[in-house]
Amino acid sequence: MPVLNIVLVEPQIPENTGNIARTCAVTGARLHLVRPLGFEVTDKHLKRAGLDYWHLLDITYYDDLADFFAKNSGPFFYFTSKGRHRHTDVTYPDGSYLVFGREDAGLPERLLFENPDHCVRMPMRKGVRCLNLSNSVAIGVYEALRQWDFADLESQGQLTKYEWK
């Protein structure tokens, strides 16, 4: 299965990170958390949002962005409302890092300025600030997985009380 990496830079809301952890667990994406975090990883809201999927996570913590970049080599795609390219118009190769910023501030503008060809956005109405972080991550993850034809993921479900014919 291709490797997909989800990077949260200084996430502030434990429920968002818990939801994102669950998305990573069910899709096999790796989760990277860049400090400082706006919560403790033992936060009950974080754990509740991630339900019982924590044992399925491949999660790595970093002290800051410099630490993250020193240990990873990309390719990086920066999800931002300031991006000039649609998230569906780029190709996500195996090993891609989808990078998301703080809920209240996004990614550092200098980072975006230095990487204009790798800044992507989801189309939104003019004048609206941005989508919720966990929704944005889910949209980005599933676009990359769609491009990979959902490799190694189940595509059909089963009923619990009935059988499909």
Residues making up the binding site for S-adenosyl-L-methionine:
101, 122
C-alpha 29 chain-centroid distance: 8
Q: In what order do the strands lie in the sheet with 59-62?
A: 59-62, 30-34, 4-9, 96-100, 76-79, 119-121, 85-86
Peptide bond into 108 cis (omega under 30): no
Dihedral sign (CA 108, 24, 87, 104): negative
CB 121 within 8 A of CB 158: no
